[in-house]
Amino acid sequence: MYKKMVVLLDGSELAEVVFDYAQELSGRLHIDMDLLHVCDPKESELLPMRRAYMDQMAAELCEGAEAIRAKYRKEPAEQCIQAHGHVVVGYPAEEIIKYIDENDIDMVLMSTHGSSGEKEWDLGGVANKVIHASKVPIWLVPTELREEIIADTLPGRYLVVPLSGSKQSEMAIPHAIQLIKQRAVGGEIVLLHVDEPTQFYVNRSALKEEEEDRAEMKKYLEGVAEQIREAGIPARTEIVVGDAAQSIISYLRDNPSQLLVMSTRGQRGISRMIFGSVAESVIHLVKKTPLLLVSQKD
């Protein structure tokens, strides 16, 4: 499923939080990497220094990823993992999307914060535009990433996939299955549904209706989980009650997980932004768990 990912670096320490994580992913998936830095036109005199920086980072990343590949895959590889540094001049969001489109990129890896020139790189700026406009999955690495995730030592080794009951939310499942099969991440998929109460229980009839809806959702989740088990992957279901975004974050806090895999919705193009409100809220709230966003564009 994944053959080549682009790792976005802007020279800040916060953005480089993705470095160790990128090494680990590349080594486990045996996936080639392009490291991309976008230089503001006003800073074009810094191009030689930026290119030297990216070349150095690419060499280090390649060496580290190859060592990790050898650790997890005993059989010799037909080809070594490749990593190349690239610097382009322009406005970050536009240049990143253009690079993805023109270079057969399967996945984007980026931090949730960083810097872009004098402006903060956060989910209200460059990263936000890339998330909305990209046609490939976006893997977000939080600045407070748990060391246990990089070292693969979390006790549960869960992948959490929130499901709303819609076919669109199920789009995340094949990605979660593939990542486990390729030994990129841990062993069990948790299908999480958040039941958001829509009414006050003024009588027994209303309460009974809510309970019946919850039972129907449980049946649906178990059906999806069974399909995952048939693919050879352990799976279980969870239903929690409350606000969707806050409940997902609370679940991750109480059940440290290796990865949150979510489906989003959107329209292709930086200027045409439609984004699931739950997914967008979760992005802003998640602190310690990586997040893989899978989006279907028109």
Confidence class of residue 53 from pLDDT cuts 50, 70 and 90? confident
If asked whether residues 105 and 50 sit together in one domain, one would say yes
Query: Which H or E run includes 77?
Result: none
Confidence class of residue 47 from pLDDT cuts 50, 70 and 90? confident
Helix, strand counts (H, E) of the chain: 9, 12
Residue 148 lies in a domain: no
If asked whether residues 181 and 52 sit together in one domain, one would say no
Residue 254 lies in a domain: yes
If asked whether residues 161 and 281 sit together in one domain, one would say yes
Pairing of β 107-111 and β 138-141 = parallel
Distance CA 226, CA 229 (A): 5
If asked whether residues 130 and 225 sit together in one domain, one would say no
Residue labelled with tokens 């409940």: 247
Give the C-alpha distances (Å, rounded to integers) separating 275 from 104, 131, 193. 24, 9, 19
104: domain range?
4-141
Distance CA 16, CA 9 (A): 6
Bridge partners, residue 236, by sequence: 190
Phi then psi dihedrals of residue 221, to 5 deg: -60, -40
What pLDDT shows up at residue 41? 85
Q: How many CB atoms lie within 10 A of CB 26?
A: 27
Closest CA to 10 of 101, 128, 93, 104: 93
If asked whether residues 159 and 292 sit together in one domain, one would say yes
**CATH number of the domain within which 180 lies:** 3.40.50.620
What pLDDT shows up at residue 156? 67
Confidence class of residue 191 from pLDDT cuts 50, 70 and 90? very high
What pLDDT shows up at residue 163? 93
| Crossing angle between the packed helical segments 277-285 and 244-254, to the nearest 10 degrees | 40
Residue 218 lies in a domain: yes
Mean pLDDT (the chain, rounded): 81
Cβ neighbours of residue 138 under 8 Å, at least 6 residues apart? 107, 108, 110, 130, 131, 292, 293, 295
The predicted-structure confidence for 132-147, as pLDDT tens digits, reads as follows: 888 899 999 887 777 7
Residue 221 tokens read as 């989740």
Cβ neighbours of residue 70 under 8 Å, at least 6 residues apart? none
pTM: 0.84
Radius of gyration of the chain (CA): 20
